[in-house]
Amino acid sequence: MLPEPRLARQIIETLGQSGTPVSRGVSYYNAGNESLLNAIDTHYLGSYLADGGAVFKLVVGDYGSGKSHFLYCVRDRAWQRNFAVSKVDLSPKESPYDDQRRVYAAVASALIWHELGSLSEDEQGIGRFLEGTLRRLVVPLGVDLTDEDAQETPDVRALLHTLANTAVDSLSYHKAVQGYLTALLRGQERRQESLERWLHGEEVSPEDMRDLRTIGVTEKINKNNAFKMLRSLCQTVRALGYTGLALLFDEGDRMLSIGGKAEKTATDNLRGDRSLPRGLARCALHVCRAARFFAHRGAQIPGVAAARPGRQLLFAQQSVQPTDRFGAPRHP
C-alpha cells in the first residue's frame, strides 16, 4: 500500500532537505529494524503489556543511527495495538528528569490524540485526548458532545461508569478527569478550562481551585505527588478503554558533550528512571532515547549494558511482572 500523494511528497522533501525523520508515515520508508520492532510488538505490546506488565527500554546509538526514527516506529506499532502515546522531548531546563512535576507536565502536554487511518494532523494535550476519546463514541451516532442526548448514549454511559468504578491512586486526579468529561458534555467551558490547566500541571487560580474543590479536586500537582499523578494517568488511560500508555522519552544528543557533575547527574537520573516500570506496572511501555554517552556509562547502572563495538543501536531493559487490578503481583 502506497501513501497518499501529499504525504509522499512531504516524506521525500523532508528527508531530502534535512535527513531528519518525518513524524508521519514512517512505515513507508522504514527498513532494517523489523526484527526489533516485531519483538516489541509480539512480546510486549501484543501480550505482556496487554496482560498488565510494564517495561523500560533504553535505545542508545550514535548521532544519525536512527534513534528518533525508531521511536516513531514504536509509536505507530503502539497505536495499532490501541495504546495511548506520549512522546516527550526532554531537556535539562524545560523537563529535566530530576523534577517530576515538570516531567508529568511534559507527558500530559505531549499526550497525542490520534485516529488510525485519518489524514488529519495529530493533536497534543491531555484535554484534547480526553475530548477525542469521548467524541469518537458519539460522532458515529450523529450526535455532538454538547447535545443533551450525548450523555445518555450507551457507550458514553458505559465509559463514565467504568471510569467511576476504576481504582485510581489519586482521588483528586480521578475527580478531575471525571469532572473534565462532564464539563465537556454539559458545555461548562470555564470549568473545562480550569480542569485542563490542572491536568496539565499548570498553575490554577485560587478562585478556580475553590470551584474544583466542589467536585473533589483538592490537591495541586507538585514535585511531591507528581509520580502518583503519572500513575493515575496510566490507570485512567486503561479505564478509558486503551490497552495502556506508551511513554517515549527523547533526550536528543545533548549528552555527548557534558562531563563532570552534569554527567553524574544524568547517570543518576537514568538510574532512577529505570524504577519507573515498578511504579507504573499494569500500564506502561517506557522507551527512552539517549545518546551514546549513556552506553559508556551503562556499566555503572544495574541492568543497563555498556556499549559494544560495531553496534549502532543497542537496548537495555527492565520488566515488571503483570499485576491484578489492585496492583498485587499475579503469579502463574
d(CA 288, CA 275): 13
Q: Is 310's pLDDT higher than 50?
A: no
Choosing from 191, 210, 242, the residue where a domain stops is 242
Are 118 and 128 part of one and the same domain?
A: yes
Q: Is 321's pLDDT higher than 50?
A: no
Are 300 and 315 part of one and the same domain?
A: yes
pTM: 0.81
Are 103 and 238 part of one and the same domain?
A: yes
- For 217-239, give the DSSP string: ------TTTHHHHHHHHHHHHHH
Are 257 and 234 part of one and the same domain?
A: no
Helix, strand, or coil here: 56? strand
Are 114 and 223 part of one and the same domain?
A: yes
- Domain count of the fold of the chain: 2
Whether 283 maps to a domain, the answer reads yes
Residue 68 makes CB contacts below 8 A (sequence gap 6+) with 20, 21, 250, 289
Provide mean pLDDT across the span 271-275: 50
Domain boundaries, position 279: 34-83+244-326
d(CA 109, CA 24): 19
Whether 8 maps to a domain, the answer reads no
Tell me the pLDDT tens digit for each residue of 191-209.
Answer: 999 999 999 999 999 999 9
Whether 105 maps to a domain, the answer reads yes
Whether 294 maps to a domain, the answer reads yes
pLDDT at 302: 42
- Residue 56 grid coordinates: 523500560
Are 237 and 254 part of one and the same domain?
A: no
Are 115 and 224 part of one and the same domain?
A: yes
Choosing from 242, 277, 308, the residue where a domain stops is 242
pLDDT at 32: 84
Choosing from 242, 261, 280, the residue where a domain stops is 242
Whether 22 maps to a domain, the answer reads no
